[in-house]
Structure 1
Amino acid sequence: MNASAGGNVSVQQRRVEIIRQLHRDGYVEAKKLSGEFGVDTSTIRRDLDVLVRSGQAERTHGGAKAVGGAALDVPYAVKEFERRQQKVAIAAHATARVREGDSVVLDSGSTTFQVAMALRNIPDLTFITNDLRIATLLAAVPDVRLFLAGGELLNSVFTLTGPRATEFFSDFSATWAFLGADALDSEAGITNTNTREVPVKRAMIEAASTSIVVADSSKFESRTLARVAALDEVDHLVTDVGLDTAIAAKYGSRLERVDFEQ
């Protein structure tokens, strides 16, 4: 984001971008952010103070660092604002296959949250998830049948993980599983930043007749720490048209690209 664009950014958007940089790089510099957003350094310092008070940053001389001093999982507060239009379009396309009476496993994440939004008006669905935000959304749907995993909470992303969550999904036989992904690569397959989520994601794939990975185009041709699955272990990949045609060809016929409003 350049300075000319920064002047049109709201306070909330600016702070979300600062959080995103913190969790990507582990550190932000107030002077650099001032130039990037076209605001005074005193404004940036106030932003950083707010993030410190909320427990999302630690102040350093001239800037701030991520809690713990290293890059972490990108928190939900960032993810839910990033590429929202793409995620809504991806969810609408992916869920067109779901029919009344089906059972649906929903992985945690901001794109799968949009999947839940798209599915909540289809009657007689059974939902199985490890995402607290998704569970809260669906719990308000009349006559919904909802199963929520137990396990250890990953606070920043509202995700339940661990052996209990893994075992929980192994007890189900669902129609569909919708999974998010931190990164996808034509050779490395589907990878994830946090190793604790991997066994749960694999259990989700095994629990469903059909598995669909929903991920916006920014996630492609990149790799993160932990391998979740090879591409041929899932049935469909749904992304947006922001993914270049030549790159999309590497993923074969299981990849579907959808248009979105810009």
Structure 2
Amino acid sequence: MAEHIVRQGSVSVTELAESFGISVMTVHRDLDELERQGMVRKVRGGATAQASNVWESNIAYRLKAHTAEKDAIARVVAGMIEPGSSVMLDDSTTALAVARQLQELAPLTVVTNFLEAIRLLAGHPDIRLIALGGEYHATHDSFLGLGCVDAVEAVSTDVVVVSTSAISEKYAFHQEQEIVLVKRAMLGSGTRRILAVDGSKLARVALHRVAPLDDFHVVVVDANAPADLLQRLRDHHAHVEVAEL
């Protein structure tokens, strides 16, 4: 059921009952358990794996969303990173796309709290990998909390790459305060700060402000973003790089 919801994005209780040949009561019970595990979110009449301004989507959904755009962004970001430097990556799927590109830039030191990125880079002979610990959150497949913040603040990297769920003309936002705290700590630990977001995040807000856009040295966004939103972003930030697909 979780895979079906992730694949569809949002579904109704009636559709789930018909698709799986079970009662509406059973659907509600199963959705309660999936929500408890952080895999989906119950909404009126159904469930969703998509993000809202107060709730981030599950990692399984994010891994499948806007993959071409994230890969294009990652190539541009990788072009800003020098071999031999140190790079901090957050737990975004855009940063994961960057991690794939970093394998071609070794030797590097990579610091991250994202378990999927750790799995990807572990064992690479020319990448020194520093895993940021803390409390594991299955919804994000990453480590968060005070332990993670302390670990971030104990290091300093040449570059930090973060993504956020929403950006307005002036701020980057995220729905969950534990993630916001880690991202803020990361921004304080990087000499060059890169914000990497696909076009679906533009002209949106979420519950918590992560940082003003002026705190980032460069904002990288894909060319599929609406032209008017790209122009508004350029009007408010001097360094916007557009990744061609």
TM score, norm. by length of structure 2: 0.83
TM score, norm. by length of structure 1: 0.78
Q: 1:140 is matched with which residue?
A: 123
2:181 equivalent to 1:196: no
Where does 1:46-85 land on structure 2 (aligned, <5 Å)? 55=37, 56=39, 63=46, 72-85=55-68
2:243 equivalent to 1:258: yes
Counterparts in 2 of 1:246 and 1:124: CA distance versus 1, 3 Å:
same
Q: Hey, what's the Cα distance between the residues in 2 that align with 1:63 and 1:97?
A: 43
Counterparts in 2 of 1:125 and 1:60: CA distance versus 1, 3 Å:
closer
Q: Hey, what's the Cα distance between the residues in 2 that align with 1:145 and 1:50?
A: 42
2:2 equivalent to 1:17: no
Q: 1:24 is matched with which residue?
A: none
2:47 equivalent to 1:92: no
Counterparts in 2 of 1:151 and 1:239: CA distance versus 1, 3 Å:
same
Identity of aligned residues (%): 25
Counterparts in 2 of 1:57 and 1:229: CA distance versus 1, 3 Å:
closer
Deviations 1:72-127 (A, max 9, x none): 42111000101111111110111112111010000101111000001012221001
SS in 1 for 2:178: helix
Are the counterparts in 2 of residues 104 and 178 from structure 1 also a CA contact under 8 Å? yes
Which amino acid counterpart does residue 255 of structure 1 have in structure 2? V
Gapped regions of structure 1 (runs ≥ 5): 1-10, 22-27, 35-40
Which amino acid counterpart does residue 219 of structure 1 have in structure 2? K
**Which of 1 and 2 has higher RCO (CA within 8 Å, sep 6+)?**
2
Q: Number of residue pairs matched?
A: 230
2:135 equivalent to 1:152: yes
Which amino acid counterpart does residue 231 of structure 2 have in structure 1? A
Q: Hey, what's the Cα distance between the residues in 1 that align with 2:160 and 2:42?
A: 41
Are the counterparts in 2 of residues 30 and 44 from structure 1 also a CA contact under 8 Å? no
Counterparts in 2 of 1:168 and 1:154: CA distance versus 1, 3 Å:
same
Q: 1:209 is matched with which residue?
A: 191
Are the counterparts in 2 of residues 113 and 134 from structure 1 also a CA contact under 8 Å? yes
Q: 2:229 is matched with which residue?
A: 247
Q: Hey, what's the Cα distance between the residues in 2 that align with 1:162 and 1:112?
A: 19
Gapped regions of structure 2 (runs ≥ 5): none
Which amino acid counterpart does residue 228 of structure 2 have in structure 1? A
Are the counterparts in 2 of residues 59 and 65 from structure 1 also a CA contact under 8 Å? yes
| Structure 1 ranges of 4+ moved more than 4 A | 11-14, 48-55, 57-66
**C-alpha displacement of 1:153:** 1.7
2:18 equivalent to 1:42: yes
Counterparts in 2 of 1:62 and 1:172: CA distance versus 1, 3 Å:
closer
Q: Hey, what's the Cα distance between the residues in 2 that align with 1:44 and 1:213?
A: 41
